[in-house]
Structure 1
């Protein structure tokens, strides 16, 4: 196969130019059952290389070769092959999808100290830093780059393979976040190019602004507190012990410093390895060539005045960036000079952070409105006399909840300080001048439907459920989203248009659109084709899987995983709907709080009316999994080929109360070993003292507990 015109072989880091999955890949894959082990292994190797290359092109080069949908198809195929043929690979891109829960965060030592950087918002302090540098090593040039507002981490590679990640901690040691960082797709599992044998790099984990907004919107819709800013979101995510939750959050990482570079050769007089680049900007180029995500805004400044100009230019461009920065970092570019300058007890002598001014201004609260979310949560928002805050015109600021209003003592007419110091969501920081007699009186009735407001700690809710117009509109959006029944053509704007036209007010109205097709066709931007496409999509949702239907209803705290557990445990929608709290807490991962939430949702009279109406059009398909408990408390891992597929084996044990995981841990009870097993799971089992059993012993174990193996029709 000739090299595709779109790919320069010199640009490739992880794949050969003739890899068929680089450009215009054919995603009409052969059925897995037609492949033998060798063919599957060969295809998986090509897919791993291609996925690594696509990650590199997307994150490090910002120059993707394929569309996101095509990438997803390649990734899914790789997962299928690895699962079907037990093709374990420690550095496979599929290791990024999370899975499992850690017991705690261990503490690990850094490869080299992660020191802080002296900082100031005054130009004269930057000039003083320059004077100290020149007194010590003479005239120098500076590398300048954004100062990212995220969470600093050290990532270690050995022989080009990812081995460890840790937070900064106290600079000498930090929390081990190896598995959390592994889920970040811009952090490669394997380096390309020609990296040193041992490489420790410093990076900043962050959440892009657009992804932060989307994620916060989802949190608010679920009735959760939104993150105050992207930095809090990133920091909170990395310290999560639930790896599935980490993998679902849209984190990214920029790499910007070398902490350790060992190529196995003797170091020079300045303590640098022979292959170590001699300037900081050359270091960044090297990291980029290895496939690491490096920011593209770094520049060389001939002197300190040029560095100050760089900071001023970046301050003007700050708001256009898709990541948060709070200043710039100015570093001596020559690495030998940096080594001679050395460090102080807690900071580097060769770097200085020139900070931006804090983003806050004083303005007046013109009015306070209360917004209603999909779960009924009421959020107060201050409408402000528009003011420029750090280059952004701010006219609205969140007040979070009724308790926050009481704490601030804020009301209409007050002069308040609004801040955006690293915050994407403007907030009222304090009342500067009170022009009111008392704090704003939070309404006792929902502004959308008039129902009496209920309080849950600091939060306020409308209890009217799906009968509340504001909640109903958001419920329709969620019902049609990917997290619900995935009804194409029903996005937020479409639903709002249908509501304003009086066509859709509650969920059942979707299924009555057939009766009003003429009105739908007449809407601006629709027409015959788009209307019929939407109606076909709606028809296709009339017999959803039970788990998907439960998730689509938008019950607070019931996402996809909880919905699947409910469906598996109860089997039918009526059984879930009628379940008492005592029965709900018997479901995996459901505690008292979620159980009461589910019970309250179905007991709310307004919700019950809407659901009864909806069930005239929708027939959730029962989950026919036998939700027995004969294997309750056991955890199995499968490797090798069994008399039936591993997916069937997993379904059987899960149907009888056991767990089936993809990797061995100290919580695993049995590793079931079939024909031609992989080695990694067996090595992990030996290390964790997990017993191995073959398929015959597995069948005996199940038979002792009244479970047939192999299941009927699968022998």
Structure 2
């Protein structure tokens, strides 16, 4: 039913969007224009979200909406139930409890056709016992939406509140969150009842769910497991503005309480749209239980092509008076039954493939699928691991596949059952986050963006501030993520440009914590060269290699400009490590990020302080030492002229073994005739050479 256009409203058909300045209006004119805009926007919302028949374009709608916001802001107009409230109100401390106007009962359910026929027999007996003619029974059938059930209350046609089902008697107050759902009208239309409490199912459309999951994966967030979980989690957000950003929709399907009477359940579906409440067009009235069973089977066949998730059908006795006579058990009405679909098990269809960029730059393809039950858990995504696995499987978007859980934990695509095309998914040649070239390393793929890739930035900052980096206290993962979310840090150099006002505006940052962080950052401006090299998170460049580079080249500029041959001349640096270091420093965007960082940080030239007592000797350490940390032992060797490397080779003089040593290094020492020392023997050697008193 197409909505009746608001009369004499200039913002309905071909509305003007060239508005005069808000400052040029008086209060009365602003109020009048705002009321016309609200009325028109409600009409356009109904046409778009309920009728699927918009009469204006998106840009025109956006212009009308923005004008209404400007008027409300400029004149302080009352916004209660204004369409602008869909952008979300103030965050809540918690969700309050609210009692339903009428019980929100469960429905008896089953997946066997014999259970449906037994339900029909009970209905027939109950009708006969209550004085109704059971031969005249008909049923009303509707999809069983797989979302979150809510109660919504209207008074005098105005939206009042919304609540989750909860225990059926008391639910959570989600009024502000439900207000943001575009298909929930703030005012009813037509000849609505004075009081109305309706039941609806909040859901996320399948395409919108896949698109939203793609966005989450690309920005490094975990995707939602399935549309129902996503809808439930979204509706329970304490910040309504977060709810407003997510693609929620609703179907209404029941009346809990109203100041009007209905003779049949099918009549509910006729009246709700007249009041502006969206219903599905898949509901049907049928003459018998066998027709209801056929209805369920048809929807099962159509299930994969529907734009939303359903997990069965609901069969209701149509005569409302007979429903009242049959009544309810303690938990469910006797006049309704949910005929469930069989769970999708292991076999499903890939709807999209999105490439996730990890903190190390590794690219992992993830298949987004129709939700399927695997090992008792509903999943809608599965790992494709790497480009080589995609090629091995021959997998592409649209393929029907079998999914399994690797190690009973991680869902993965096991095989293609029915290919949608002759090809395979085209793995990107550039990073989907920063557009840097993608480099293959055997079966794996990596983004070469390094410091310039936002997906790797959190890890880079956390490492930079860690004890393995510059040891900047106050920059753990949670606070780094907070800075990134607030847009205050987009690369390492931004840390040194954070102002007091920037930080104190964030939750949990007091004046003292801000002062402490700024003091820590100030202290890190002139780091030792080896610490700075280790802090940059260069692939394969750990603390020992950083010290070896610092000792060999002396300055950061010399390290950054060293070619592969020069790098390979350093102890413990082979061709692969040399290539990775060279590639990191040759990448233009890494160089730009480093140049910006060097505007704030001055790595100090490496100076060996100590003697040459261990000159010419190379040590490797394994296991846990009792008197030194591994890094302390390595530093002790190096400041006295020796070298400390991470792997045993023919150039190694001593392998120092602590508690719980690695067997591989011991085997390598035996193979290369390297002398093995325990901690006491190591200290005896140091004492004999004058390192220890």
TM range (shorter): 0.5 to 0.7
Please state if 1:257 is matched with 2:254: yes
Q: 1:140 aligns with which of 134, 137, 141?
A: 137
User: Residues 338 and 227 of structure 1: is their aligned pair in 2 closer, same or farther, counting only changes over 3 Å?
Assistant: same
Q: Where do 1:37-76 residues align within 5 Å?
A: 37-76=27-66
User: Partner residue of 1:224?
Assistant: 221
CA distance in 1 between partners of 2:194 and 2:354 (Å): 58
User: Residues 581 and 43 of structure 1: is their aligned pair in 2 closer, same or farther, counting only changes over 3 Å?
Assistant: closer
Shift of 1:251: 0.6
State whether residues 93 and 238 of structure 2, in contact with CA within 8 Å, keep that contact through their aligned partners in structure 1.
yes
Q: What is the TM-score when the length of structure 2 is the normalising length?
A: 0.58
Please state if 1:610 is matched with 2:586: no
User: Partner residue of 2:24?
Assistant: 34
CA-to-aligned-CA distance 1:416-475 (integer Å, 9 cap, x gap) = xxxxxxxx998534769xxxxxx9xxxxxxxxxxxxxxxxxxxxxxxxxxxxx9796222
Q: 2:243 aligns with which of 225, 246, 262?
A: 246
User: Partner residue of 2:404?
Assistant: 428
Shift of 1:590: 7.3
Shift of 1:85: 1.1
What secondary structure sits across from 1:328 in the alignment?
strand
Shift of 1:55: 1.1
User: Partner residue of 2:432?
Assistant: 474
CA distance in 2 between partners of 1:226 and 1:383 (Å): 11
Could you say what the CA RMSD is over the residues aligned between the two structures, in angstroms? Answer: 4.7
What secondary structure sits across from 1:360 in the alignment?
coil
State whether residues 229 and 425 of structure 1, in contact with CA within 8 Å, keep that contact through their aligned partners in structure 2.
no
User: Partner residue of 2:185?
Assistant: 188
Q: 1:121 aligns with which of 111, 115, 128?
A: 111
User: Partner residue of 1:636?
Assistant: none
What secondary structure sits across from 1:474 in the alignment?
coil
User: Partner residue of 2:686?
Assistant: none
CA distance in 2 between partners of 1:225 and 1:170 (Å): 29
User: Residues 362 and 237 of structure 1: is their aligned pair in 2 closer, same or farther, counting only changes over 3 Å?
Assistant: closer
Aligned residues: 457
User: Partner residue of 1:103?
Assistant: 93
CA-to-aligned-CA distance 1:473-502 (integer Å, 9 cap, x gap) = 22246x9xxxxxxxxxxxxxxx99xxxxxx
Long gaps (5+) in structure 2: 128-133, 374-378, 394-399, 409-413, 415-426, 439-446, 453-478, 525-531, 539-583, 597-693
What secondary structure sits across from 2:73 in the alignment?
helix
Q: 1:131 aligns with which of 121, 126, 134?
A: 121
CA distance in 1 between partners of 2:481 and 2:307 (Å): 30
User: Residues 383 and 89 of structure 1: is their aligned pair in 2 closer, same or farther, counting only changes over 3 Å?
Assistant: closer
CA-to-aligned-CA distance 1:124-173 (integer Å, 9 cap, x gap) = 11111111111122131111111000001111111111111111111011
User: Partner residue of 2:285?
Assistant: 300
What secondary structure sits across from 1:473 in the alignment?
coil
Q: Where do 1:554-703 residues align within 5 Å?
A: 557=481, 562-563=486-487, 566=488, 576-579=494-497, 586-589=504-507, 610=589, 613=592
What secondary structure sits across from 2:285 in the alignment?
strand
CA distance in 1 between partners of 2:313 and 2:212 (Å): 27
CA-to-aligned-CA distance 1:653-676 (integer Å, 9 cap, x gap) = xxxxxxxxxxxxxxxxxxxxxxxx
Please state if 1:373 is matched with 2:331: no
CA distance in 2 between partners of 1:12 and 1:329 (Å): 28
Q: Where do 1:273-352 residues align within 5 Å?
A: 275-352=260-337
Shift of 1:589: 3.9
Shift of 1:42: 1.2
Larger Rg: 2
User: Partner residue of 2:674?
Assistant: none
User: Partner residue of 1:710?
Assistant: none
State whether residues 449 and 590 of structure 2, in contact with CA within 8 Å, keep that contact through their aligned partners in structure 1.
no
CA distance in 2 between partners of 1:222 and 1:209 (Å): 20
CA distance in 2 between partners of 1:84 and 1:382 (Å): 47
Shift of 1:223: 1.5
Shift of 1:202: 0.6
User: Partner residue of 1:12?
Assistant: 3
Q: What is the TM-score when the length of structure 1 is the normalising length?
A: 0.56
CA distance in 1 between partners of 2:118 and 2:360 (Å): 55
User: Partner residue of 1:89?
Assistant: 79
User: Partner residue of 2:576?
Assistant: none
CA distance in 1 between partners of 2:241 and 2:155 (Å): 26
What secondary structure sits across from 2:315 in the alignment?
strand
State whether residues 218 and 433 of structure 2, in contact with CA within 8 Å, keep that contact through their aligned partners in structure 1.
no
State whether residues 207 and 234 of structure 1, in contact with CA within 8 Å, keep that contact through their aligned partners in structure 2.
yes
CA-to-aligned-CA distance 1:3-56 (integer Å, 9 cap, x gap) = xxxxxxx9435x523322112212112221222212111111111001111111
Long gaps (5+) in structure 1: 1-9, 263-274, 364-368, 391-395, 403-410, 416-423, 433-438, 440-468, 480-494, 497-503, 510-554, 618-715
